[in-house]
Amino acid sequence: MSYTFLLFDLDHTLLDFESAEETALTQMLEDMNFPDVQAFKDYYKPMNQGLWKDLEQKKISKKDLINSRFAIGFAHFGITVDGAEMALRYQDYISLQGQPFHGAEDLLARLEKAGYQLYGATNGVTAIQQGRLKQSAITPYFKEIFISEQLGTQKPEVAFYEKIGNLIPGFAKEQALMIGDSLTADIAGGNAAGIDTVWYNPDQKENTSPDVPTYVVSDYQELLAILK
Check if the beta carbon of residue 224 is closer than 8 Å to that of residue 112: no
Looking at residue 227, its amino acid is L
Check if the beta carbon of residue 96 is closer than 8 Å to that of residue 135: yes
Q: How far is CA 75 from CA 62, 83, 103, 169, in A?
A: 20, 10, 39, 48
- Contacts of residue 210, defined as CB under 8 A and 6 or more positions apart, other chains included, come to none
9 catalytic residue (yes or no): yes
d(CA 98, CA 116) in angstroms, rounded, equals: 23
d(CA 197, CA 8) in angstroms, rounded, equals: 10
Q: Of 11, 16, 186, 196, which is the active-site residue?
A: 11
Rg (CA), the chain: 18
Question: Beta-strand (E) ranges in the chain?
Answer: 5-8, 117-122, 144-147, 176-180, 196-200, 215-217
36 catalytic residue (yes or no): no
Q: Which residues are catalytic?
A: 9, 11
